[in-house]
């Protein structure tokens, strides 16, 4: 499946071949200060996956060097997450805190070598002395201290004789290094705080830059894989290990792009805020992007791993569309789970010409799914259907039950509406109907044509259940904070009606509720008295649909109507295309399905592909953006050509523009018909990567946000993202995010 190796696996293979490493040892090193999220899943899949692929092993290490934020409940959550994703760490869980004595001994060794000193400048002075990107720093006068004095002071720091912040231990490297991180980085700080494992034994705690490389070395790690923000820290990593002249083999650090996803926040700090502020119900709230949240919602570990594989491993940060994750779970469950019927908003139908009752043998799976299993569906005179599956005055294109239009009850008979019973306000209370005895599903000789099939339950046997309908937690594509929360992210239906077999037969925990989506028996709140189901994901990408609707509200109805509840089989030609798209071109099933079924789209796609070979990116833009245009006009009326879409994708692929800017370029192509290259040039949309252009903007953002700068300097490292975001915003999204990231961290530290 993984025919294209990522760059990290390429490195690992080369290191094995050259003998640089004998055994592949990786580690997953979270800080236990929050529940792991989908970004951690990417790191877990990568570290454990590489170890597995090259017959090595992977350690689970708690990077617990910050006593004030860490807790054992987070350790448990991290262990759960790794296990749930199907991985096993080597030996027992490791803790950086277990290495404190060794790390301390290494610090003493550096002092004795004259390579580290106790500095007593204030925090502010330390920052001032560090200089800027364009200006060398100057060394503290305390760097002159004798080895004896340093040893004495460091020992007393450890014993707790000084206050927080009074002294620090620094490596003596180079105050004019181009890489600002190398300007005598801090190795230890004083913290009078109780550590959740080490208790009060230590009054000093090692900094990440000192502890991480040594922990890797102590564990025999060969490949230390981390995210891009640590690129500049790699020099310190190497300096420490080299200066201490540690016996080989030693670990090497490699960086990859962290996962970012739209409509999602992914920092533990922001997630903690949601949990503590009770905006969600705990760390495992099914709306959270935590692994515990996905697990409780009903995602399968397979779907998450497939997602991690699909998004790949890159060297440049990018934003992944959350609908890609939703595709993965839909795709996984599509052929796996039984299909059953549940009515969320019931309205009663009495079938007046039906007497008695019967049980219909109904398969749990459609014909094209190679799984077997069926249940008995009770059928009787009184049933419930979905309120919106009936309309008295339907608009054109409504295919379900109306006073004039019969409909099929899935697995059962065709019914027709005879009478509508209403209350004094005109609300429909009940529908009186008749059924056609000859129309039974599978042996229909009635000759009656219907346009759709709807789901239903038998009144007497249906069970009442609670259904929790989840939607995206944020309504903003790039959420900044709680102000962007989606007020409708949870909707509880407390009296939905479900067919009895789901409760009594318990054939699975996950189901497709016909025409509604995929659902999961809530692992915490489900009981026989009160069954509770979580909506995992809808059958289609409703957000895409919603936004399309909003954009083109008054437009004519779509050209092709899909009959609700019935999937039209593909023609042979369509099947062939579908097979090629999924197998050869590696498109996901949803995209392939859309393309294969639409000749206009697939022709357009093929033409673009012959101009430029980037199937996945082309298919995405064509099934989303181009398709939206084609809903409103014929191909011949479009102002852009397939070749031009190919050029647009090429601009993204070669990093001339970001994918965000590409949306803007596309809109312009739609309007003006101009070539993408021309638009990019005219509007000055080329990605800015030149530090000379970006630095002044960074300085301005820093000057305008003194509060956040102060918080950052007080240790709130997570604000880095805030600054990067502001700078990107100020450039209209044109700045190269990776460059901004680097420059911002240099300016702030
Ligand atoms: P956050 O900023 O969300 O709190 P973090 O980087 O502080 O995350 P750690 O617990 O320090 O979280 O991270 C553990 C491991 O997971 C690290 O190796 C880190 O690189 C990786 N990781 C964290 N977030 C992501 C992400 N979004 N994508 C990929 N890997 C990630
Ligand atoms: Mg961290």
Tokens describing residue 633: 């006009």
Could you give phi then psi for residue 119, rounded to 5 degrees?
-105, 140
Is residue 61 in contact with ligand 1, taking CB distance under 6 Å? no
Helix (H) or strand (E) holding 260: strand 259-261
Is residue 583 classed exposed, middle or buried when 0-12, 13-18 and 19+ CB atoms within 10 A define those classes?
Answer: exposed
pLDDT at 564 (0 to 100): 40
Tokens describing residue 511: 């189901």
Mention every residue, 6+ apart, whose C-beta is less than 8 A from residue 106.
210, 214, 240, 244
Is residue 29 in contact with ligand 1, taking CB distance under 6 Å? yes
Task: Please tell me the distance between residue 63's alpha carbon and the centre of ligand 1 in angstroms.
Answer: 11
Task: Please tell me the distance between residue 66's alpha carbon and the centre of ligand 2 in angstroms.
Answer: 10
Task: Please tell me the distance between residue 47's alpha carbon and the centre of ligand 1 in angstroms.
Answer: 12
Long-range Cβ contacts of 103-109 (<8 Å, 24+ apart): 103/206, 103/210, 103/211, 103/214, 103/215, 104/158, 104/204, 104/206, 106/210, 106/214, 106/240, 106/244, 107/154, 107/169, 107/187, 107/188, 107/206, 107/210, 108/151, 108/154, 109/244
For ligand 1, atom 26, the nearest C-alpha belongs to 39
Task: Please tell me the distance between residue 403's alpha carbon and the centre of ligand 1 in angstroms.
Answer: 58
- Given ligand 1 and candidates 27, 34, 39, which is best to mutate, with the most ligand atoms within 8 Å of its CB? 39
Task: Please tell me the distance between residue 279's alpha carbon and the centre of ligand 2 in angstroms.
Answer: 23
Task: Please tell me the distance between residue 306's alpha carbon and the centre of ligand 2 in angstroms.
Answer: 25
Tokens describing residue 627: 């398709």
Task: Please tell me the distance between residue 464's alpha carbon and the centre of ligand 2 in angstroms.
Answer: 45
Catalytic site residue 158?
no
For ligand 1, atom 1, the nearest C-alpha belongs to 267
Is residue 43 in contact with ligand 1, taking CB distance under 6 Å? yes
- Which domains are present in the chain? 116-149+157-207 (3.90.800.10), 262-334+463-498+516-548 (1.10.1160.10), 348-458 (2.40.240.10), 572-677 (no CATH), 691-748 (1.10.10.410)
pTM (2 d.p.): 0.75
pLDDT at 732 (0 to 100): 81
Which strands make up the sheet holding 116-119, listed edge to edge? 116-119, 168-171, 186-190, 204-206
Q: Which residues of the chain have pLDDT under 70?
A: 1-4, 542-567
Helical segments of 636-736, H only: 642-653, 659-672, 676-682, 691-704, 706-713, 720-730
Helical segments of 277-382, H only: 291-297, 301-311, 322-334
- Given ligand 1 and candidates 30, 212, 254, which is best to mutate, with the most ligand atoms within 8 Å of its CB? 30
CA distances from 411 to 128, 376, 387, 431, 444 (A): 76, 11, 19, 20, 11
CB 481 within 8 A of CB 722: no
- Residue appearing with tokens 């004019």: 176
Is residue 344 in contact with ligand 1, taking CB distance under 6 Å? no
Q: Which atom of ligand 1 is nearest to the CA of 260?
A: 27
The sign of the torsion formed by the CA atoms of 710, 748, 27, 266 equals positive
Closest-approaching ligand to the CA atom of 42: 1
Catalytic site residue 31?
yes
Instruction: Report whether the peptide linkage leading into residue 358 is cis, meaning its omega lies within 30 degrees of zero.
Output: no
CB 541 within 8 A of CB 517: no
DSSP 18-47: HTS-SS-EEEE---SSS--BHHHHHHHHHH
Annotated active-site residue in 79, 139, 258, 631: 258
Task: Please tell me the distance between residue 385's alpha carbon and the centre of ligand 2 in angstroms.
Answer: 51
- Given ligand 1 and candidates 35, 223, 258, 316, which is best to mutate, with the most ligand atoms within 8 Å of its CB? 258
Is residue 226 in contact with ligand 1, taking CB distance under 6 Å? yes
pLDDT at 400 (0 to 100): 96
DSSP 169-214: EEE---TT-SSGGGSS-EEEEE----BTTTBTS-SEEE-HHHHHHH
Is residue 289 in contact with ligand 1, taking CB distance under 6 Å? no
For ligand 1, atom 29, the nearest C-alpha belongs to 258
Task: Please tell me the distance between residue 226's alpha carbon and the centre of ligand 1 in angstroms.
Answer: 8
pLDDT at 465 (0 to 100): 98
Give the number of residues written for the chain.
749
Annotated active-site residue in 13, 20, 31, 418: 31
Is residue 580 classed exposed, middle or buried when 0-12, 13-18 and 19+ CB atoms within 10 A define those classes?
Answer: middle
pLDDT at 544 (0 to 100): 57
User: What SS3 string covers 354-395?
Assistant: CCCEEEEEEECCCCCCCCCCEEEEEEECEEEEEHHHECCCCC
Helix (H) or strand (E) holding 58: strand 57-62
Is residue 290 in contact with ligand 1, taking CB distance under 6 Å? no
Is residue 31 in contact with ligand 1, taking CB distance under 6 Å? yes
Annotated active-site residue in 181, 268, 330, 510: 268
Q: 10 Å Cβ neighbour count for 735?
A: 25
- Given ligand 1 and candidates 28, 227, 309, which is best to mutate, with the most ligand atoms within 8 Å of its CB? 227
Q: Which atom of ligand 1 is nearest to the CA of 34?
A: 4
The 10s digit of each residue's pLDDT in 54-78 is 999 999 999 999 998 989 999 999 9
Q: Are strands 374-380 and 357-363 parallel, antiparallel or unpaired?
A: antiparallel
Is residue 600 in contact with ligand 1, taking CB distance under 6 Å? no
Is residue 268 in contact with ligand 1, taking CB distance under 6 Å? yes
| Rounded CA separation 320/301 (Å) | 19
Closest CA to 164 of 223, 215, 122: 122
CB 217 within 8 A of CB 241: yes
Task: Please tell me the distance between residue 109's alpha carbon and the centre of ligand 1 in angstroms.
Answer: 31
CB 188 within 8 A of CB 204: yes
Catalytic site residue 278?
no
The 10s digit of each residue's pLDDT in 83-135 is 999 999 999 999 999 999 999 999 999 999 999 999 999 999 999 999 998 89
For ligand 1, atom 12, the nearest C-alpha belongs to 30
| Rounded CA separation 458/435 (Å) | 14
- Given ligand 1 and candidates 43, 79, 316, 325, which is best to mutate, with the most ligand atoms within 8 Å of its CB? 43
Closest CA to 112 of 151, 79, 73, 158: 151
Q: Which atom of ligand 1 is nearest to the CA of 47?
A: 18
């Amino acid at each position: 499946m993984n025919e294209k190796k990522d760059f990290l696996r390429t490195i690992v293979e080369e290191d094995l071949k050259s003998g640089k490493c004998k055994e592949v040892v990786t580690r997953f090193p979270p800080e236990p200060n929050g529940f792991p999220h989908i970004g951690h899943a990417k790191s877990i899949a990568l570290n454990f996956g590489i170890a597995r692929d090259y017959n090595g092993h992977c350690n689970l290490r708690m990077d617990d060097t910050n006593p004030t934020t860490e807790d054992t409940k987070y350790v448990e959550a991290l262990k759960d997450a790794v296990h749930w994703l199907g991985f096993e760490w080597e030996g027992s869980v490791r803790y950086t805190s277990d290495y404190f004595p060794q790390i301390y001994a290494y610090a003493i060794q550096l002092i004795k070598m004259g390579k580290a000193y106790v500095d007593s400048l204030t925090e502010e002075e330390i920052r001032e002395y560090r200089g800027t990107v364009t200006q060398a720093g100057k060394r503290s006068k305390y760097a002159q201290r004798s080895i004896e004095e340093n040893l004495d002071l460091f020992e007393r720091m450890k014993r707790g004789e000084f206050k927080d912040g009074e002294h620090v231990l620094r490596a003596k490297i180079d105050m004019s290094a181009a890489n600002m991180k190398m300007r005598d980085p801090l190795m230890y700080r004083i913290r009078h705080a109780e550590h959740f494992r080490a208790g009060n034994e230590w009054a000093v705690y090692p900094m990440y830059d000192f502890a991480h490389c040594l922990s890797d070395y102590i564990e025999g790690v060969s490949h230390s894989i981390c995210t891009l923000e640590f690129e500049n820290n790699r020099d310190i990593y190497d300096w420490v290990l080299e200066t201490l002249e540690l016996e080989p083999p030693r670990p090497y650090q490699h960086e990859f792009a962290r996962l970012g996803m739209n409509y999602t926040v992914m920092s533990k700090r922001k997630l903690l805020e949601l949990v503590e502020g009770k905006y969600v119900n705990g760390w495992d709230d099914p709306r959270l992007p935590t692994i515990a949240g996905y697990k409780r919602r009903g995602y399968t570990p397979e779907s998450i791993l497939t997602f991690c594989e699909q998004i790949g491993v890159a060297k440049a940060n990018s934003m992944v569309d959350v609908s890609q994750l939703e595709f993965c779970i839909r795709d996984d469950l599509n052929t796996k789970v039984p299909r059953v019927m549940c009515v969320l908003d019931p309205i009663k139908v009495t079938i007046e010409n039906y007497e008695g009752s019967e049980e219909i043998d109904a398969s749990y799976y459609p014909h094209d799914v190679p799984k077997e299993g069926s249940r008995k569906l009770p059928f009787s005179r009184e049933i419930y259907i979905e309120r919106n599956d009936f309309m008295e005055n339907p608009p054109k294109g409504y295919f379900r039950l109306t006073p004039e239009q019969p409909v099929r009850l899935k697995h059962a008979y065709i019914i027709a509406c005879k009478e509508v019973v209403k209350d004094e306000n005109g609300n429909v209370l009940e529908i009186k109907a008749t059924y056609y005895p000859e129309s039974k599903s599978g042996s229909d000789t009635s000759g009656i044509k219907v346009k759709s099939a709807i789901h239903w339950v038998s009144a007497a046997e249906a069970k009442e259940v609670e259904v929790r309908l989840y939607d995206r937690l944020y309504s903003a594509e790039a959420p900044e904070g709680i102000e962007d929360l989606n007020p409708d992210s949870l909707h509880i239906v407390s009296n939905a009606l479900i067919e009895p077999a789901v409760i009594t037969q318990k054939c699975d925990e996950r189901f497709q509720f016909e025409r509604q989506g995929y659902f999961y028996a809530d692992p915490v709140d489900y009981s026989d008295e009160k069954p509770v189901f979580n909506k995992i994901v809808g059958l289609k990408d409703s957000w895409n649909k919603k936004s399309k609707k909003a954009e083109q509200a008054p437009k004519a109805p779509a050209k092709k109507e899909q009959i609700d509840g019935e999937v039209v089989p593909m023609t042979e030609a369509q099947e062939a295309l579908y097979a090629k798209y999924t197998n050869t071109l590696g498109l996901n099933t949803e995209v392939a399905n859309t393309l294969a079924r639409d000749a206009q789209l697939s022709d357009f796609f093929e033409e673009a592909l012959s101009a430029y070979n980037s199937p996945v990116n082309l298919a995405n833009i064509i099934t989303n953006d181009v398709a939206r245009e084609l809903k409103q006009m014929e191909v011949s009326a479009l102002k852009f050509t397939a070749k031009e879409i190919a050029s647009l994708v090429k601009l993204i692929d070669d990093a001339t523009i970001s994918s965000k800017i590409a949306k803007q370029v596309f809109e312009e192509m739609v309007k003006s018909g101009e070539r993408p290259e021309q638009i990019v040039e005219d509007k000055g949309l080329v990605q800015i990567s030149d530090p000379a252009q970006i630095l002044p903007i960074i300085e301005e953002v820093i000057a305008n946000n003194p509060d956040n700068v102060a918080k950052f300097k007080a240790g709130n490292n997570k604000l880095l993202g805030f600054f990067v975001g502001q700078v990107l915003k100020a450039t209209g999204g044109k700045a190269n995010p990776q460059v901004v990231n680097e420059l911002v961290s240099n300016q702030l530290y």
